[in-house]
Amino acid sequence: MNAGGPHHRAPSREEILLASCQVAKNLREVRLSVPGIHCGGCLRTVEQALARLDTVAEARANLTSRSVIVRWRDGVPPPAMIEALAAVGHAAHLGEAPRADKIQAELVRSLAIAGFATSNIMLFSVSVWAGAGDGIRAVFHAASALIALPVLVYSGRTFYRSAWSAVRHGRTNMDVPISIGLTLAFAMSLYDTLQGGQHAYFDAVVMLLFFLLIGRTLDHAMRARARRAVGDLARLAARGAMMEGPDGTHTYLPAEEIRPGMTILLAAGERVPVDARVLSGTSDLDRSLVTGESAPQATAPGMAVEAGTLNLTAPLRLQARSAASESFLAEMTRMMTAAEAGHSRYKLVADRAAALYAPLVHSAALLAFLGWAFASGDIHRAAEIAVSVLIITCPCALGLAVPIVQVVAARRMFEHGVMVRDGAGLERLADVDTVVFDKTGTLTSGEPQLRQPSATHLGLAAALAAHSRHPYARALVAARHGPAPIVTDVRELPGRGIEGRCGSDVIRLGRSDWVLDAPRHIQEIASSSCTTLSRNGACLAHFHFDDRLRPGAGAAIRALTEQGCATAILSGDHIVAVADIAARLGVTQFEAGLLPADKVTRLQMLAAAGRKTLMVGDGLNDAPALAAACVSMAPSDAADVGRQAADFVFLRASLEAIPFTLSVARRARTLIRQNFALAILYNAIALPFAVAGLVTPLAAALAMSVSSLAVVANALRLNSGRAGKSGRQGRMLRRRTPVVQFAE
């Protein structure tokens, strides 16, 4: 099996069909584990092999999880995916990829052995360099060979397996020049040792292997951090729950067998297994996964609760609203897994460069060998220079340039409550110069608040409002203090209001033209957020409501302006309400009363004007606009369709997540460009020295390893400093960013 992984029986077409799920009207999806994936070239090979199958609509490989998601047309048998991957040297099977700790353990063992061998061989080399006699030198060279050979076989198998798999199937990857360089350096040193030569480079072989393994281990460790983030979410999932049957019996079911409509008995201290609704009981929940707030939140019958939230104080009786695979927690896990699945332009450039790199390096080494052999007639010297060329131009730094930055950026966003649904969105976000907001539920909480909580007759209004789920009714109930009068014969008329009796009086709460017998100032009242209370047709009170701003809204707008972004509001709400919110936030460009198609039209106008737009919205009506924008974000409490259409989802209530995410994306773009520059500059400087014969294999090994470590260290800079400042870049953007114009 490729990559030396454990043996797995190839699944049948029927097993693949059973393991798949329908993701669209005419598409099915399955996840395959491909343990042999380890670089960008492998991703491209796997995806291209699957894309050649007739019925495959899409194939997305993931380097972090070493898996591939395949979608094919529904209604036809599953395509020959396993066979297609086997033909290009990648064995695949159903289920999860091998556990990361096994791979990490193998890399650490290989690294430790290579490090131990390097220290010992260097002791022999120091003695030789100090002027040991011919006899002692020959003994030390022989001892070095005996140490280097098993180390090369054991610690180098990570590179040899990958290179052999690529060559056997007619392709190359970055491990091919590495393997050739290691082998030629050892073979040349062994030849010199057997011939009694003065120089041998066993120290260079094991040192090169040692530094290569450092880079490979660091790369894997960074990806393991992203996998641990997904694992942290997965560990929040309950294994199962006690269920109550229709006949009152209690049965424990695994979480994956719970179906919508089932009744769950949740004890204190247990996590909610699936998205559910409270049927009975009151308790406190830890909803920090959803809201980012650590303070417990009270729950009561009728409240929706998300999978992964922790029940703290008392038993609850719940009704399941979704299956475990479709729960809030499962969606969060999928978002984090998708953080690296997107292929940005930079990543594709890195893959193409790595694909061209091996032939170019091999050609350079061959030409150096032929040139020096022809010019000097010294075949041994020519071979030594060719080996130095292969070693010093190892493409590790180029291969690490993009994925390391993307992993660190995704992890940094996750730690601040932002989930990346599309890895390619990270690149698009860095180019954003305009941010467009929906109003209700995005800039505001979507929950009206009574403007004058001490208003007269509030108790009577709240007594009626308690019988309704209307947002204004809930706001009245929340604002009430003290006892309320008894109201009987309550009935609600949709679109009008609530009616009841208090003693012999008829009490109404709702629209003025229905509540009042002789309504006055209807036009004035209708233009504001207001509901009216009456007794026997006579007006008692008008209650006015304000929609609370979402936390951090003002700070987010100011930060975006400092980062050089224009801001605007597109809303379907009344012009008075939208203008009020815009004034409170200092946003000068806004439109109200828009239908979903109108929002899409406005975004298309901005795109036609050359603007790169970030759309932030939460509702069902925002889904088309989220899809139409260059890049999109949604809060975690958005409608399901809105979250699915967004590239980023922020879990915490504060809108300050938006400028933070933008600054991280811009900083990641800068680091990616710096990494490319470092890799290109290093090779441009190192290659002429190697071809000129000025670098020994030992010096080449040191130089190559340092370049790889420099790329990793540069990516880790994303974790330092404050991401909220854009500095000179933001000021430059602000100078060239015109005011948003939606109309010609």
The residues carrying an active-site annotation are 438
Q: Which residues pair with 61 in a beta bridge?
A: 68
Contact 11, 29 (CB under 8 A): no
Three-state helix/strand/coil letters over 43-76: HHHHHHHHHCCCCEEEEEEECCCCEEEEEEECCC
CA angle, 184 then 186 then 191, to 5°: 95
| Residue carrying structure tokens 């050979």 | 149
Report which secondary-structure segment, H or E, holds 425: helix 424-430
CA angle, 484 then 486 then 491, to 5°: 110
Euclidean distance between CA atoms 664 and 672, whole angstroms: 12
| 592 dihedral zone (left: phi>0; alpha: psi -120 to 50; beta) | beta
Euclidean distance between CA atoms 185 and 114, whole angstroms: 16
Euclidean distance between CA atoms 564 and 733, whole angstroms: 5
Burial status of residue 514 (CB atoms within 10 A of its CB: 0-12, 13-18, 19 or more): middle
Cβ atoms < 10 Å from Cβ of 64: 26
Residue 27: phi and psi, rounded to 5, are -130, 140
In terms of DSSP bridges, do strands 434-437 and 613-616 run parallel, antiparallel, or are they unpaired? Answer: parallel
- Which CA distances in Å does 693 have to 189, 422, 571, 684, 697? 17, 47, 68, 15, 10
Which residues have CB under 8 Å from 500's CB, separation 6+?
463, 464, 467, 487, 488, 489, 490, 491, 506, 507
- The DSSP letter of residue 610 is T
Burial status of residue 169 (CB atoms within 10 A of its CB: 0-12, 13-18, 19 or more): middle
In terms of DSSP bridges, do strands 250-254 and 240-244 run parallel, antiparallel, or are they unpaired? Answer: antiparallel
Report which secondary-structure segment, H or E, holds 546: strand 538-549
Amino acid found at 575 = I
Structure tokens at 120: 């010992």
With residues binned 3-state (H G I as helix, E B as strand, rest as coil), the percentages for the chain, rounded to 5, are 50, 20, 30
Cβ atoms < 10 Å from Cβ of 726: 22
- Which CA distances in Å does 382 have to 86, 683, 690, 691, 727? 39, 20, 11, 10, 52
